[in-house]
């Protein structure tokens, strides 16, 4: 399975700063890495157009992800951005179900499921985030919680409609805290999720990936990214530094 490294820039960078970061990144990534690893950046909506134009015009080996999509297709929903609008911008991926959206914007499993359906209908790969709180981990409820999140996220997905999917384990306690999950913890969760998903009719072992996110840095990426079951990383803070992001990419043994 080709590994994937996604930089989630979150609510950072205006479009000019985003262009700068993309260009620096492009100069800094070694060519063979670009070919053998899927490298994705996920800027704010306001930067998507500029970044997409550069990727297309300069034929960069970097792909584009959005950070969010509407649960609605069109209509009177002020401020929303639809999956069709993202498709027209050549967006290949979109993050859904991130804990920051679940917690700060009250997104529930039903909304997340609608978003996933909308993305798939526009041939955009959903990066489906899930993960437990510290309390759930300490109470040994994390596997049940994650299992429920996964069931709700993929509800109603049909084999003939699904192209690619990415499942991203992001324990809430590891996001932005500097406290990374151990490779053993990640493998435990991703193995459970993979087993669950592999029983679904839409599962395709060639295209569905299982990745990790939460305080990934150059100091911990080697062990995580060279584990056979971890297909990549969703990187927050470290993706805003070209040096760190490139080191994370380079830590994959090819
Ligand atoms: P950090 O890498 O900053 O912990 O963020 C992880 C994340 O939320 C990626 O989506």
Instruction: Using DSSP, state whether 202 is helix, strand or coil.
Output: coil
Q: Say how many Å lie between the CA of residue 120 and the centre of ligand 1.
A: 24
Ligand 1 centroid, distance to 102 Cα (angstroms): 14
> Does residue 235 have its Cβ closer than 6 Å to ligand 1?
yes
How many angstroms separate the CA atoms of 228 and 50, rounded? 35
Residue 158 has pLDDT above 90, yes or no: no
Burial pattern 122-132, b for ≥16 Cβ within 10 A else e, equals bebbbbbbbbb
Q: Evaluate whether 38 touches 232 at the Cβ level (below 8 Å).
A: yes
Ligand 1 atom closest to Cα of 234? 9
CA 161 to ligand 1 centroid distance, Å: 29
Mean pLDDT of 24-31: 95
Answer whether 126 contacts ligand 1 (Cβ < 6 A).
Answer: no
Question: Contacts by 109-117 with C-beta closer than 8 Å and gap 24+?
Answer: 109/148, 109/149, 109/152, 109/153, 110/152, 111/71, 112/152, 112/153, 113/152, 113/153, 113/154, 113/155, 113/156, 114/71, 115/68, 115/69, 115/70, 115/71, 115/83, 116/153, 116/154, 116/157, 117/156, 117/157
Verify whether ligand 1 is closer than 6 Å to residue 234 (CB atom): yes
For residue 74, the CA-to-ligand 1 centroid distance in Å is 30
pLDDT (0 to 100) of residue 162: 83
Q: Whose CA is nearest to atom 9 of ligand 1?
A: 236
| Span 122-134, pLDDT tens digits | 999 999 999 999 9
Give pLDDT tens digits for 87-115. 999 999 999 999 999 999 999 999 999 99
Q: Is the pLDDT of residue 36 over 80?
A: yes
To test the pocket of ligand 1, the residue of 40, 44, 235 to mutate (highest count of ligand atoms within 8 Å of its CB) is: 235
Q: Calculate the average pLDDT of the chain.
A: 96
Confidence of residue 173 (pLDDT cuts 50, 70, 90): very high
Is-above-0.85 flag for pTM?
yes
pLDDT in tens, 179-216: 999 999 999 999 999 999 999 999 999 999 999 999 99
- Please state the domain extents for the chain: 3-250
**Helix or strand or coil: residue 111?**
helix
The protein residue with its alpha carbon nearest to ligand 1, atom 5, reads: 236
Superfamily of 3-250 according to CATH: Aldolase class I (3.20.20.70)
Q: Which two tokens stand for residue 195?
A: 């087993």
Q: What is the dihedral of CA 107, 108, 111, 115, to 10 degrees?
A: 70
Count helices and strands in the chain by DSSP H and E runs: 11, 8
Q: Is the CB of 176 under 6 A from ligand 1?
A: yes
The sign of the CA dihedral 85, 23, 221, 231 is positive
């Amino acid at each position: 399975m080709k590994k994937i490294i996604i930089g989630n820039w979150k609510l950072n960078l205006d479009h000019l700063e985003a262009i700068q970061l993309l260009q620096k990144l492009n100069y800094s990534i070694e060519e063979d890495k670009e070919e053998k690893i899927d490298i994705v950046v996920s800027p704010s909506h306001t930067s998507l157009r500029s970044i997409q134009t550069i990727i297309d015009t300069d034929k960069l080996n970097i792909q584009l992800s959005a950070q969010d999509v509407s649960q609605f297709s069109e209509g009177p929903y002020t401020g929303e951005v639809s999956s069709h609008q993202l498709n027209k911008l050549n967006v290949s991926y979109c993050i859904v179900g991130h804990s920051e959206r679940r917690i700060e914007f009250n997104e529930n499993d039903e909304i997340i499921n609608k978003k996933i359906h909308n993305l798939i209908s526009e041939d955009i790969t959903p990066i489906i985030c899930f993960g437990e709180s510290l309390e759930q981990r300490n109470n040994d409820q994390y596997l049940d919680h994650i299992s429920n999140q996964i069931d709700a996220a993929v509800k109603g997905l049909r084999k003939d409609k699904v192209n690619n999917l990415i499942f991203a384990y992001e324990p809430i306690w590891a996001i932005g805290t500097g406290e990374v999950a151990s490779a053993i913890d990640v493998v435990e969760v991703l193995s459970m999720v993979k087993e669950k998903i592999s029983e679904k009719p839409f599962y395709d072992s060639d295209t569905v990936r299982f990745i990790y996110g939460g305080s990934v840095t150059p100091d911990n990426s080697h062990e995580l990214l060279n584990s056979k079951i971890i297909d990549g990383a969703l990187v927050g803070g470290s993706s805003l530094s070209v040096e760190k992001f490139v080191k994370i990419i380079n830590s994959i043994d090819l």
